[in-house]
Structure 1
Amino acid sequence: MEPQKINKGDRNKIYFLVIVIAALIGTNAYLFFKDRQQSERFVTVSTEKDKLRLEVEKIEVELDKVNALNLDLNEKLVEEQKLARVKIEELKAALEKNQITQGELDKANTQINELKTFVKNYNDQIIQLQKDNIFLKNSRDSLQNTLRNISNKASNLENENANLNAKVKTAAALKLQSAEIIAFRTKSSGKKVEVTKSSTAEKLSVRFNVVPNQLAEKGHHNIYLRVFDPAGNLLADEGNHFEADGQDMQFSHSIFINYNNDDSTYVIDWANPKPFIKGIYTVILYADGNTMGKAQVELR
């Protein structure tokens, strides 16, 4: 049996179908590779965005570390940090966009690199600031120690001077070399007569000499007397006060003497505002805030 012959029209149809099928295959291949490229580009862009976000977070952490140091930043450093944080917020907002071009990614990458450089320089300044603070603290502590030592030395010198002045004052104080008390009455003629009985006594006369003292100041010295009766009562007016041996005291009588560091004898007469009684009267003398000495007399 002879094979059927394909006419020319059928052959043309077959050629046309082959061409259509080939075109469809080519179109599908193009669309497949195009989708694949877009998918790969999306993955690449998304990965780069995540990488940039991580870099921004690292920069922000570095700035937070600076704040955690609680350093006293100067105005320049504070302003620089504010500008950096504004830029960080801008980058965060840009990277949160759903769609971002490669140009925008490149710009963000450039800005992040600039921020990295800024943070490095910023940290270098902070480290230097810490060093300066440590140096200033050490200098301040050293100065305080020096001042404390100087103050202690000054205080010690002041105490030594005070002690020395006290010793000089004590050494320069007037002291009794000898003292004698007699009781007397005055006759109508004006003559003084020594007595020993309390019933006839009118006044006490204290005669004393001062120990020679080259350190004692020459000139006038105020001498205070405190007179105690046999019962131990101070015989003094309420308004008579002076200070001696660090205490406020009442005195019975006071006079001025002219001290010349010689053997002069000084006399103080004291009139008792009350009648004398039997017993021992005690007289204590003071000069320049110090006790000079005391003497006693007994009246029968």
Structure 2
Amino acid sequence: MEPQNVSKGDRNKIYFLVIVIVALIGTNAFLFFKDRQQSQRFVTVSTEKDKLRLEVEKIEVELDKVNALNLDLGEKLESEQKLAREKIAELKTALEKGQITQGELDKAYTQISELKVFVKNYNDQILQLQRDNLFLKNSRDSLESTLKNLSGRASNLENENSNLNAKVKTAAALKLQNAEIVAFRTKSNGKKIEVTKSSGTEKLSVRFSIVPNELAEKGHHNIYLRVFDPAGNLLADESNRFEADGQEMQFSHSIFINYNNDDSTYVIDWANPNPFIKGIYTVILYADGNTLGKAQIDLK
């Protein structure tokens, strides 16, 4: 059987079908590889987002560590941390989006790099702040210790001065060298007569001298008398008061003397507002807030 001849039109149809088949195969291949590339790109973008999110969280942890130190950061450092946290919040919001472009990823990388530099510088400032605080604390503790020691020394010096002043005051105090009491009455002609009986006594005359003392202050000194009757009653006016030996007292009489650190004899006359009675009268003398000495007389 002889082969049939293929017409020219049939050949053209065959060529056309071949071309269509080849085009379909090429299109399918293109779409296959395109889908594969998009899938790989989606996986890459997701991975990059996770990496960025982890970096952001690391930066946030570093800032939280600073807050945990409870340092007084000051206005400048507080402001810098606030701006950094605002950027972190923006990055978190961007990374939570369902889709993100490569440009947005690049921008996020840039921002994170800037934040890393900021956190490093920020931590350096915090370390310096801690060192400064430690130095200030040590200086303060040293100053407090020094002040405490100085205060202790000052207190000791004050006590020593107080004790020294007390000793000087004691050493400078006037002391009675000798004293005697004479009872007398005045005659009609004005002459004073010494008596020994209570019935004839009008006044007591206290005669005394003071021990010479170079430390004692020269000049006027107020001398106070306290007179006690034989029954031990103080003979004094309620309004007559002075201080001696650390307490307030009543006095019977007082005079001024001019002390010149010599053997001068001083005399104080005291009139009893009540009649004298038999027995021993006691006179205690005071000067400059201290007891000067005492003397007694026995009236018959």
TM-score bracket for the superposition, by shorter chain length: over 0.9
Aligned match of 2:124: 124
How far apart are the structure 2 equivalents of 1:95 and 1:280? Answer: 113
Percent identity reads 84
TM-score, with structure 2 as normaliser: 0.92
| 1:73-152 matches, cutoff 5 A | 73-152=73-152
Asked whether 1:213 is paired with 2:251, we answer no
- Report deviation, 1:220: 1.1
Structure 2: runs of 5 or more not aligned? none
Unmatched 5+ residue regions in structure 1? none
What is the CA distance between 1:277 and its match in structure 2? 2.0
Q: Give the number of equivalent residue pairs.
A: 299
For residue 165 of structure 1, what is the amino acid of its counterpart?
N
Structure 1 residues 284, 49: closer, same or farther in 2, change over 3 A? same
- Give the C-alpha shift of residue 120 in structure 1: 0.2
Q: What amino acid maps onto 1:85 in structure 2?
A: R
The separation in 2 between residues aligned to 1:209 and 1:147, in whole angstroms, is 51
- For 1:155, the equivalent position in structure 2 comes to 155
Tell me the residue number matched to 1:259: 259
Cα distance in 2, alignment partners of residues 3 and 272 from structure 1: 187
Q: Provide Cα deviations, 1:100-134, integer angstroms capped at 9, x if missing partner.
A: 11111011101101110011001101100110111
Structure 1 position 11, deviation (Å): 7.0
Give the drift of 1:202. 1.5
CA distance in 2 between counterparts of 1:32 and 1:58 reads 40
1:154-173 to structure 2, matched below 5 A, reads 154-173=154-173
Return 55-64 or 282-291, whichever deviates more. 55-64
The separation in 1 between residues aligned to 2:270 and 2:298, in whole angstroms, is 16
Q: Partners in 2 of 1:207 and 1:186 — Cα distance?
A: 18
Residue pairs, 1:1-300, within 5 angstroms: 19-300=19-300
User: 3-state SS of the aligned residue for 1:125?
Assistant: helix
Write the distance in 1 (CA, Å) between the matches of 2:279 and 2:44: 124
Q: Which moved more, 1:146-155 or 1:289-298?
A: 146-155
Give the CA deviation at 1:26. Answer: 3.1
| Separation in structure 1 between the aligned mates of residue 42 and residue 247 of structure 2, nearest angstrom | 100
- The C-alpha deviation readout for 1:37-78, integer Å capped at 9, x for no partner, is 111111111111111111112112211222222222232222
Q: 1:16 to 1:285 in 2, by over 3 A?
A: same
Q: CA deviation at 1:228?
A: 1.3
Mapped to 1, the partners of 2:192 and 2:235 lie a distance apart of 23
CA distance in 1, matches of 2:64, 2:136: 25
The root-mean-square deviation of aligned C-alpha atoms, in Å, is 2.0
